Amino acid sequence: MRVVFLAPSYPPEMQEYTRGLAEVGAEVYGIGDSAPGSLPKKLRGYLTDYLAVPRIMDERDVVARASAWLHGRSIDRVLTNWEPLVLLAARLREAWGVPGMSVDTVRGFRDKQLMKERVAAAGLRVPRSRRVTSPSEAWAAAEQIGYPLVVKPIAGAGSADTYRVDDPKELESVLARTARVPEVSVEEYVTGEEFTYDTVSIGGRPAFENVAQYLPKPLEARSEQWISPVIITVRDLSQPKIEEGTALGRRVLGALGMGDGFTHMEWFYTPGGEAVFGEIGCRPGGAHLVDQMNYTADVDLFREWARVSCWNSFEGSTQRKYNCGIVFKRAKGNGRITRIEGLGDWLERCGPWVMDEQLLRPGTRRRDWKQTLVSDGFVIVRHPDWDACKRMAFLAATDITMYAE
């Protein structure tokens, strides 16, 4: 089994997927724009060969260079788990006649407006929306849909350049901030709780399912620096409102023609008890969501994704043992981290339920919280009881404080 895996070293979690591929018996041919000498030694041990390209986002150039590099060698799979490269992977598959989702199918997971049109055509509830390429089109869409609105890039990911708009004055400001984005979606703001629906699927059928709740909703978390965003995976998927979301998610996979691999969907549960589609990607959730899922079921989804992608088989545990919460911290102030307060007490109180702690240490320059959900680090906690897990996560959100200057 020869597999081309795009961007095996970046983002950093891609190294775990590379490991998974090697562990299930694949020969892994990596393609990325990192210099070969910069690849971590451990990662190099998982790679059969590696091609460094000048610009991994230059699809035409990468297709030409990769085709020349692999001339005379047969390839069985072309894979990636990084959102910006899912279309490139599909183009390589089509160029080489390799099995997997087509460019047209992948576009349904990448282009948010096309995505909603295809999901709506299957009779599923989606936010009312319009694709716009100019301020005049945006104003017309706002008048048609009504406030509040959400403005987001057609091909975005991770809530980047995504804004809630409550009135015309805010729309004017947001249009100025998104002027560099060629296409945006102007859509209805859906009131309610926000969840994920995540799968590892074989032929569009989930072999592993996950639901996680955003506390608060991502748009709210991105609006105020003082907020410590919390995401908690749900152990019990049999709850009626959760079942509404998983049923919706399965139908979305069918509507979009999902094949093999990860999906990451966001959906809303309204006060009226309706599950409403948000958006979906044919890749895993970022910001350590796969780590959370691993802790939820004591499974290695990096490896199981690889097994599914190569051999159409899932052998890991699907038993959900824990709710698992991750808390992202944002330091007060700017510059370098100077101190962390409350961490020791929190670790002592939560004891064996703490799975990971990766807060930036004093002396480290803090990150731009607008650019990365991970912010200035995170803690992960799990517990069989939802209320206990949520309580420990919110204790970390309120009682741990990081300072920078």
- Note the pLDDT tens digit of each residue in 141-178: 999 999 999 998 887 665 678 899 999 999 999 999 89
What integer pLDDT is reported at residue 158 of this predicted model?
59
pTM to 2 decimal places:
0.93
Tokens of 240: 């009626």
Q: Give me Rg for the CA atoms of the chain.
A: 21
Contact 344, 236 (CB under 8 A): no
Rounded (to 5) percent helix, strand, coil in the chain:
35, 25, 35
The range of the structural domain enclosing residue 313 comes to 191-321
Other beta carbons less than 10 A from residue 255's beta carbon: 20
List the CATH number of the domain containing 142.
Answer: 3.30.1490.20
Stretch (H or E) spanning 4:
strand 2-6
Q: For residue 107, is it within any domain? A: no
Task: List the one residue out of 143, 146, 190, 148 whose CA is nearest residue 165.
Answer: 148
What integer pLDDT is reported at residue 161 of this predicted model?
80
What integer pLDDT is reported at residue 371 of this predicted model?
87
Task: List the one residue out of 63, 81, 74, 66 whose CA is nearest residue 21.
Answer: 81
What integer pLDDT is reported at residue 261 of this predicted model?
98
- 226-237 per-position pLDDT tens digit: 999 999 999 999
Rounded Cα distance between 305 and 323, Å, is 21
What is the DSSP-derived secondary structure letter of residue 363?
A: T
Q: Where are the beta strands (DSSP E) in 22-79?
A: 27-32, 49-52, 77-79
Terminal C-alpha separation, the chain:
51
Domain shared by 288 and 342, yes or no:
no
Rounded Cα distance between 113 and 129, Å, is 7
Strand partners, 210: 198
Rounded Cα distance between 100 and 93, Å, is 7
Q: Which of 166, 188, 210 is the last residue of a domain?
A: 188
Domains in the chain: how many in total? 4
List the CATH number of the domain containing 202.
Answer: 3.30.470.20
Rounded Cα distance between 317 and 16, Å, is 18
Q: For residue 116, is it within any domain? A: no
Domain shared by 235 and 260, yes or no:
yes
Domain shared by 96 and 133, yes or no:
no
Rounded Cα distance between 231 and 338, Å, is 26
Q: For residue 115, is it within any domain? A: no
Rounded Cα distance between 201 and 318, Å, is 13
- What residues have CB less than 8 Å from 233, skipping those under 6 apart? 210, 211, 212, 292, 293, 295, 296, 322, 323, 324, 325
Query: Longest Cα pair distance anywhere in the chain, in angstroms?
Result: 60
Low-confidence residues of the chain: pLDDT under 70? 156-159
Domain shared by 236 and 315, yes or no:
yes
